[in-house]
Amino acid sequence: MKIIVVVLGLLLSSLLQAAPSRVIALSWEATEYLLTLGVTPIAVADRADYQQWVVEPALPGKVLDAGSRLEPNLERIYALKPDLIIINPALAGMQANLEKIAPTLLLDAFRAEHDNASAAERLQRQLAVRLDRLAQHEAFVRQQGLELAKLRQIIGQRFGAKPPAVCLIRFASPVSFWVYGENSLPEAAMHALGLRNACPQQRTAWGTRLRKLPDLAALNEGLLLHIAPFPRQTELERSRLWQALPVVRERRVYAMPPVWTNGGMYSISRLARQISAQLQNRSPD
């Protein structure tokens, strides 16, 4: 009799403490945290765009679309009976409504007041605790540390004490581009590799800024990496001004494959991998 009570009690408590398993992510950074922790969400917001713009970590085919990131579909979310919903500040106004459906976790990853890279680690850890995946999280952090150290070592072997500085941009039009400066994940990846940002920018919430093409004239040293695809590439390349830029004439421009810059730790690893891959194309001066 006593044993049955104890077993029942144990069962009950384990049921009560069971980690959420039906999770819906309404932001892309949250989607990335989940997939990194090995949790497959039942639905994510803007699923098709995620597959086109974020690409990795890859989304399993059975994950459903929860609507747009600005206005996810509440009725579908309800019908999927989630036990955890993750949002970012864009949906902060809807938190009260979402709480009616399931416990809702607000992860505020991008702010000017904090360091986005360490916030990504903190938030992913917070989520891991909530989902009972702390072991996976710590394994990932350990493995990332090893990988970054290795990449850094390879760069050190190749370039010695003075590796080239890197400037990372995404073109908005043939005359303007977003540049990644202080507090951006690309800059965090550069620092992890022991590289310097060749076009430093003032700190902002996302670390990005819209700038004009002639601003690239000041880039006298280092590499220019631009994130592909840019649909109006030909318009850019036929431009005399572009051809005259020192960085273009000296062939220091490289196109990076599509990569997401507003994710979390996984994105930092991926950015670091791609940046160091681009550096391999460059012979030491």
Partner 1 sequence: MKRPSLTLLGAALIVLAFSHLQLATPLSLGEQWQAIRQPGDGQIEEMIFLHAHLPRTVLAILLGAAMALSGSLLQQLTLNPLASPMTLGTSAGAWCAIVLGGLLWPGNTIGIEWLALGGSLLSFLLLGALAGWRQLHGLGALLAGTALNLLLGSVAAIAVMMNDQYSRSLLVWGAGDLAQNDWYWVHWVLPRLLPALLVLPLLCRPLQLLQLGSEAAAAAGLNVLRLALVGSLLALWLNGLAISAVGLIGFVSLLAPALARLLGASRPADNMRYAVLIGSITLLLADTLAMYASQWLSDILPSSAAAGLLGAPVLIWLCLRQPLADGVALLSSPGKSRRLLPLTLWLAAGLLILLLCALGSRDAGGAWVLGWPEPAIWSLRWPRLLAACAAGMGLAIAGLILQRLLNNPLSSPDLLGISSGASLGMLAGLLLGSSLSPWLFSAAGAALVLLALCWLAPRQSPARLILLGIGLSSLLEAVLQFVLAQGNNDSFQLLNWLAGSTYHTTAAQAASLFGLVSLLGLITLGTARVLTLLSLGEAHARATGLDVRRARWVLLLLAGLLSLVISSQFGPMAFIGLVLPQLAIKLGARRLGSQLGLATLLGAAMLALADLASRTAFFPNQLPVGALGSLACGSLLLLALLSSPRSRT
| Interacting residues toward partner 1 by CB under 8 A | 46, 49, 52-53, 64-68, 70-76, 78-80, 90, 93-94, 96-97, 100-101, 171-176, 178, 202, 206, 208-214, 217, 231-232, 235-236, 238-242, 244-246
* b/e burial code for range 38-67 (CB count within 10 A of at least 16 → b): ebebbbbbbbeebeeebebbebeeebebbb
Q: Which residue shows structure tokens 């670091």?
A: 272
- Three-state secondary structure call for residue 116: helix
- By beta-carbon proximity to partner 1, the closer residue of 37 and 168 is 168
We find the least distance from the C-beta atom of residue 149 to partner 1, in angstroms, to be 33
Q: Return the number of the residue (81 or 142) whose C-beta is nearest partner 1.
A: 81
Name which of 219 and 272 has its Cβ closer to partner 1. 219
Cβ closest to partner 1, residue 10 vs residue 70: 70
The minimum distance between CB 255 and partner 1, in angstroms, equals 16
Nearer to partner 1, 2 or 240 (CB): 240
From residue 196, give the alpha-carbon distance in Å to each of 36, 54, 190: 27, 25, 6
Q: Output the smallest distance, CB 15 to partner 1, in A.
A: 23
Among 255, 186, 170, 246, which residue's Cα sits nearest to residue 214? 246
In the complex, least distance from residue 145 CB atom to partner 1, rounded to whole angstroms = 31
Q: Measured from the CB atom, is 163 or 181 closer to partner 1?
A: 181
Phi and psi at residue 22, to the nearest 5°: -105, 95
Contacting residues for 24 by C-beta, under 8 A, at least 6 apart: 41, 42, 43, 44, 66, 77, 80, 82, 84, 85, 86, 102
Burial class (CB in 10 A: 0-12, 13-18, 19+), 115: middle
Shortest CB 219 distance to partner 1, Å: 10
To the nearest whole angstrom, how small is the minimum distance from the Cβ of residue 105 to partner 1?
Answer: 19
